[in-house]
Structure 1
């Protein structure tokens, strides 16, 4: 088995992407840097349409949501013959996984349509490695991170405003054999990070669906927007907006507001084709009024953004993630 790993080397990369495969006798291949062309080419070389499977063929691939979005864009830029070869090659991989941040439903659906793979989503943190996962064999539910691994205990602690523990939504807390002991030389931070009965407070807001699959609503400090008495999940709103045909990427933030506490702001990266067409017509690629009209049948009115910002790209770190706290500071400073 050969695993192509393009995660940066945090604990997930060390344990899931490197140590576990090596322990199982696999070969792990690291790319010097992320390359859309390089990944598709590697798969095509692994599984040529005419010829036998390569001896060093990739069988497992792991990536973050942004990487799959970029691979989809690269696929659509290919000529039909290369598309056919690339899709055929990708279908021969045994497993494809996605983690690190929420996977937008349209990305999951399009990737499955192209490659036949329903991405395996899981949930973990440096402090305990992995805790939740959709099943390897069984129903992988879009928009969820599955259920606890064997030996892992989880519970939801509601905040003071909701009042009911272990029901509805709240902060996810984890107790696991792989749970860390303490933060180095930070005893007060360590104490504040654990419940009295030894569960680690992840800082992630979650809920569960009717089948007990966990749904990540976002970081309690960055993805939960408190607007006019409502507590809104930025990730939920993003998952709706990303379906708009003019939107390539989006990030939803709660911006300070004197009347509502926070307002919902959407930062959008336009889809290239739509942008070119609207530019030719001397029209903005998307207006707040157009977004509101489009979204009114898809999401509750109080969740629809009241501020829209168009950017050419979203600033990301080396792992491909957007730092919403820093992004919020940047937007506020620009006002």
Structure 2
């Protein structure tokens, strides 16, 4: 079973190749425990968190600019029997966290596929980038970049830019053997030009990173998550 943060498709595929088992990806939060899941028995679709459990109501606060006739893009909202009542002694925060009809606003941007499986696009305040009029999912781009054999870990975020609002920026931890070989050649493990050339057949042009940083590791919290808000504060000193 997988939780805590979105599971990149390359990681799921590698796990399945090693173990012969496909991970069960689900979605939940402290505020309501568990709400969505791929089936225990049935098709577990990579890059999705499945469908609502029985008794769970789900709706999407649609982003009208980026949805289609068949799919919506927007903030995921949940109502369920296990939903919490309020944040302790924080009435204003509680009020802001619920819709008028009692749905909890998760802060996660989602869409659905053709079978109604929910796809987490990322946190609305950290993983959704506004680049030249496009709203892009950092998680989608990360999942693609992780397929590059020179990449061990990856974090994608939007860095403020005067012309485009934000620009797609990748922080990459190189694969160890690749880094060792390139170090002997006095070359970086991966250049922006190499990444762009590799990604052009895998990502739309406006999704390809225009800035690249190579780090030894990504700072993570106790849950193993990368704090992207904190990373944005660190990047200017790296430029």
TM over 0.5: yes
**1:1-335 aligned within 5 A:** 97-159=1-63, 161=65, 167-335=71-239
Q: Which has the larger radius of gyration?
A: 1
CA shift at 1:309, angstroms?
A: 0.2
CA shift in 2, pair 1:273/1:191, >3 Å: same
Query: Contact between 1:158 and 1:164, CA under 8 Å: does it hold in 2?
Result: no
Structure 1 stretches of 4+ with a deviation exceeding 6 A read: 163-166
CA shift at 1:331, angstroms?
A: 1.1
1 or 2, which has the higher helix percentage? 1
Higher relative contact order (CA 8 A, sep 6+): 2
1 or 2, which has the higher strand percentage? 2
CA shift at 1:254, angstroms?
A: 0.3
CA shift at 1:319, angstroms?
A: 1.2
Aligned CA-pair RMSD:
1.5
Unmatched 5+ residue regions in structure 1? 1-96
Equivalent position SS for 2:139:
helix
Query: Contact between 1:270 and 1:285, CA under 8 Å: does it hold in 2?
Result: yes
Cα deviation, 1:59-115, whole Å, max 9, x if unaligned, reads xxxxxxxxxxxxxxxxxxxxxxxxxxxxxxxxxxxxxx1111111111111111111
Cα deviation, 1:190-238, whole Å, max 9, x if unaligned, reads 1111111100000000000000000000000000000000000000000
CA shift at 1:159, angstroms?
A: 3.3
Whole-Å separation in 2 of the counterparts to 1:332 and 1:208: 35
